[in-house]
Amino acid sequence: MGSSNCFRWAVVILCCSSLTHGHLEREHSPMILPSENPLILHKDGLLHLTCRGHGPLQWKLVDSNRSLSSEEVKVESCDSRHHSHSHCSKLTITSLVANDTGRYNCEYSKNGSAHFTSIYVYVQDPEQPFVDPHPLRPIILESYRHETSLILPCRTTYPDIEVTLTGQLVALPEKVVKEQIWDPKVGFKIPYDPYREISMVFCKTKVNGRDFESKYFPMRITHALQNVKITPERVKLLVGDTLILNCTGKTTHNGRIKFTWDFPKSKENRHETQWTMDRSTKVYVMSRSLFLPNITMEDKGVYHCRAEINPTIYMNVTAKVIVIEHPYLNISYKHERHSTIRVKEGRKKLVFDPKVQALPPPDMAAWFKDGVPINRSSTCYKMSGFTLIIVNVQQQNAGVFTVSLGNQARGLHRNLSFTLIVEVKPIISEAELATVDVQPYMIGRQHQLTCTAYGVPLPNTTWFWQPCQLNTTLIKSPVHTDDRGNYSHNWIKSINVKRELVKGKIKVCV
């Protein structure tokens, strides 16, 4: 018995607590007059609302296209004496139009808590039964693949008007017809199968025998967002130049990337942007270019681009912009390479690649060999940018190579020279021409032997003597001028070395 009584008391206490909480909420909430909700008015009429509350009051025009600062909108304080509420505010809107249909909020904050009350207003207009009509061009309704319902926002200026939903050319899916929900304050809410497409749909109604319609085009959009970047990522400009940066990103079918630029002095609105899209492949490339003319030193810094599919799916990228006050042109050797380069003959490829630092870039570039210009159509040399390439290096490629760079508009010119030495493997000319291995000479007479050799650098030549008796081990031994003839050696009177020009080449003759 006692337990049963305790249960009854608990139920009574809980019920009383709930009722008390609800009563306190109503006590703290602002009060709007007139109390009729929804409130039905007419086009060109007057909206007059009074709100009373326990704190400084604010009005919000939730659905209306007007703002509180509009000419036809007036907000003023009113007398709060002789009322339980300490604050009072009046909202007046003149010359009402159909688009004023919507929800109006009155709110205040106190002790960290927000309290508000709302009223819905219909502004009836027989010429515009839909609040936001789209009779000619359909509005695109975007939704993601995971969303299973869709709102068609064809809310009306009449609370009890009859509106029907139809498809274009083909009937709506049976599920949509059966499960659609109509609310004049919202429009139609329909089920939307993630993998079923719906073509254009129409909200239709009739007022005073006249037909009205509003068109909508449902479209699935994607979450895909990839490869967001700014090109170039690092750029140098002179004062007065025009900065061009391109922010790009990749998405898929029905993807829409929103690009937002942020950079130094962006609030001055000196810049222009241009949006582009490439649909030539399954992956869509979208971009927004930034154009900033007449760059100043204050425009240097980090430039930010935000690429956004929706507020929760986005990527941020940056680029660094460097602004230089005066033009310059510097040219030097790369990797501390000296001006003299030695390579062996037959090397497959040799590249002269000077280090060039210039702003603006040179508009003149020429290469010279021993003071003679190298033709760009030459088969021996190839030019690419500021570099010179020699393929299959030969001895005749040796010489002094000079690159000359300049910028005519800025009056800048610089030269840099490379000395190429091609090392050639030593060869003996007589060895190439000899037809027999043994040549006879008269005993006791003086004979002169000649050895002509060539190479780069010039080779050192050494004579060797080798006995040719039968049944002996053949041993080569160096020959010197102080040797005297004996049983095994001939007397070497002298060994002379001289350089001669033979067939256009400096050769060593011994």
Q: Write the CATH number of the domain with boundaries 226-324.
A: 2.60.40.10
CATH C-level class of 139-221: mainly beta
Q: In this structure, which topology does domain 27-124 adopt according to CATH?
A: Immunoglobulin-like (2.60.40)
User: What average pLDDT does range 172-179 have in this prediction?
Assistant: 91
* Confidence (pLDDT) at 243: 94
Closest CA to 74 of 105, 43, 49: 49
Asked whether residue 158 carries a pLDDT value surpassing 90, the answer given is yes
- pLDDT band of 19, cuts 50, 70, 90: very low
What is d(CA 312, CA 144) in angstroms, rounded to the nearest whole number? Answer: 13
Following DSSP, what letter does each residue of 178-230 receive, concatenated? HH-EEETTTEEEEE--TT-----EEEEEEETTEEEEEEEEEEEE----EEEEE
Query: CB–CB of 459/426 below 8 Å?
Result: yes
Residue 34 burial (CB count, 10 A): 10
User: What average pLDDT does range 384-402 have in this prediction?
Assistant: 92
For residue 147, what is the DSSP state? Answer: -
Asked whether residue 477 carries a pLDDT value surpassing 50, the answer given is yes
- pLDDT band of 472, cuts 50, 70, 90: low
Asked whether residue 7 carries a pLDDT value surpassing 50, the answer given is no
Average pLDDT, the chain: 84
- pLDDT band of 20, cuts 50, 70, 90: very low
What is d(CA 507, CA 510) in angstroms, rounded to the nearest whole number? Answer: 10
Query: CB–CB of 217/139 below 8 Å?
Result: yes
Is the CATH number 2.60.40.10 carried by domain 329-425? yes
* Confidence (pLDDT) at 484: 56
Asked whether residue 261 carries a pLDDT value surpassing 80, the answer given is yes
Could you tell me what percent of the chain has a pLDDT over 70? Answer: 85
Beta bridge partners of 50: 33, 90
Q: Tell me the three state secondary structure of residue 421.
A: strand
Tokens of 62: 């939730």
List, for residues 394-423, the tens digit of each pLDDT value.
999 999 999 999 999 889 999 999 999 999
Q: Which helix (H) or strand (E) holds 7?
A: helix 2-28
List, for residues 236-255, the tens digit of each pLDDT value.
999 999 999 999 999 887 78
What is d(CA 375, CA 247) in angstroms, rounded to the nearest whole number? Answer: 40
Query: CB–CB of 94/101 below 8 Å?
Result: no
* Confidence (pLDDT) at 430: 65
* Confidence (pLDDT) at 506: 54
Q: Rounded to two decimals, what is the model's pTM?
A: 0.52
For residue 280, what is the DSSP state? Answer: S
Q: Write the CB contacts of 70 (distance below 8 Å, at least 6 apart in sequence).
A: none
112-121, 219-228, 402-411, 438-447: range with lowest mean pLDDT: 438-447
Longest Cα–Cα distance of the chain, Å, equals 155
For residue 460, what is the DSSP state? Answer: P
User: What average pLDDT does range 131-140 have in this prediction?
Assistant: 92
Asked whether residue 333 carries a pLDDT value surpassing 60, the answer given is yes
What residues does CATH 2.60.40.10 cover in the chain?
27-124, 139-221, 226-324, 329-425
Q: Which residue has the higher pLDDT, 126 or 23?
A: 126
